[in-house]
């Protein structure tokens, strides 16, 4: 009887010890899972903040793009005198920017400079393509496109062709004197001489200069567009446009 009772007590102690071990193991697993959930929560908060910040930045970029487009619309309405013509001009400029290494802000500023020179709306895109080829040939970007267009505008407003205005083009690597002389059918030396004598009206030779730039540097925009810089610029325009449409 005593032996049997001792055995039962021993078995009871073993069961109790096993139960305590199970409880301890269960508690450890619960603690481990809770810790995992806590870590997951921290990661979720961290990445959630990153996603929120990214979405906020994308939204801001989209809003800015739309604001810039509205400003462009108003500017071209003033220059062209018609909302429909302004819309058509922006669409054409956007298409050019989307398919070239030049971003839209620089392209539209270039177009405004050409319009201010008295270039017709129909001639703006062909002239931008010509100027764009020249700029691309010397490795320039949208800012250079804008700068060259402004330089052409200054040549136009000067009345007579002069060396100082032409230097704004030659300093950017564009062989302006040679291009114009070739289109006029005279030597570069003769062109410079006539310019010094004030015999060349800028408004008369400017179309020849722009046309010559397009001919001399034909295809340069396409080549630059295939470079890393060109593809990055094109992608940036595409992203900005897409964000604007989604905003």
> 3-state SS of 156-216?
HHCCECCHHHHHHHHCCCCCHHHHHHHHHCCCHHHHHHHHHCCCCEHHHHHHHHHHHHHHH
Domain assignment present for 12? no
pLDDT at 119: 87
Average pLDDT over residues 136-152: 89
More confident residue, 80 or 45: 80
Q: How many structural domains comprise the chain?
A: 1
Domain assignment present for 83? no
Domain assignment present for 123? yes
| Region of poorest pLDDT, from 55-69, 142-156, 201-215 | 55-69
Residue-number span of the structural domain to which 174 is assigned: 101-234
Domain assignment present for 59? no
Reported as a pLDDT band with limits 50, 70 and 90, residue 186 is very high
Domain assignment present for 211? yes
Domain assignment present for 241? no
pLDDT digits (tens, 9 = 90+) for 53-80: 444 555 666 677 778 788 889 999 999 9
Domain assignment present for 224? yes
């Amino acid at each position: 009887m005593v032996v049997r009772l001792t055995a039962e007590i021993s078995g009871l102690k073993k069961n109790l010890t096993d139960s305590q071990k199970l409880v301890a193991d269960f508690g450890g697993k619960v603690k481990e899972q809770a810790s995992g959930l806590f870590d997951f929560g921290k990661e979720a908060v961290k990445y959630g903040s990153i996603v929120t910040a990214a979405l906020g930045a994308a939204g801001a970029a989209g809003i800015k793009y739309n604001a810039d487009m509205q400003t462009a619309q108003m500017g071209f309405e003033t220059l062209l005198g018609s909302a429909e013509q302004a819309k058509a001009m922006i669409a054409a400029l956007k298409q050019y920017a989307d398919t070239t290494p030049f971003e839209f802000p620089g392209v539209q500023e270039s177009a405004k400079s050409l319009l201010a020179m008295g270039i017709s709306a129909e001639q703006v895109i062909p002239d931008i393509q010509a100027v764009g080829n020249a700029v691309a040939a010397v490795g320039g970007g949208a800012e250079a496109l804008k700068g060259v267009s402004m330089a052409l505008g200054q040549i136009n407003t000067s009345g007579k062709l002069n060396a100082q205005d032409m230097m704004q083009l030659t300093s950017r690597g564009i062989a302006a004197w040679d291009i114009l002389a070739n289109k006029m059918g005279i030597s570069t030396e003769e062109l410079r001489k006539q310019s010094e004598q004030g015999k060349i009206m800028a408004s008369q030779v400017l179309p020849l200069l722009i046309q010559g730039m397009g001919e001399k540097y034909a295809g340069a925009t396409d080549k630059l567009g295939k470079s890393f810089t060109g593809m990055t610029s094109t992608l940036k325009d595409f992203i900005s446009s897409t964000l604007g449409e989604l905003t």
